[in-house]
Amino acid sequence: MNETEPTPIELEAARLFAAKREWHRRQAQAPLKEKVRILLKMQRDDYPLLRQRGALCSWERPWNIEP
């Protein structure tokens, strides 16, 4: 049946999702220091939005530490 055949855009999306899975697999193997660096970066990046959602606990604010 034609309905089950993936469209070109679905094929490209599937390829991109597969690449993402592989990228995450590699990320999971990163050293702890790199993972902490990423966590701190995420804290800084998301803080402007998080603070709009109301009062934050102290630990939800970006931590002033170095990995």
What contacts 30, CB < 8 A, 6 or more positions away?
38
Which residue in the set 1, 5, 29, 48 belongs to the binding site for other proteins (CB under 8 A)?
Answer: 48
Q: Which two tokens mark 66?
A: 């170095």
Which residue in the set 2, 3, 9, 32 belongs to the binding site for other proteins (CB under 8 A)?
Answer: 9
- Per CB under 8 A, 33 contacts other proteins: no
CB of 8 to other proteins, least distance (A): 5
- Per CB under 8 A, 54 contacts other proteins: no
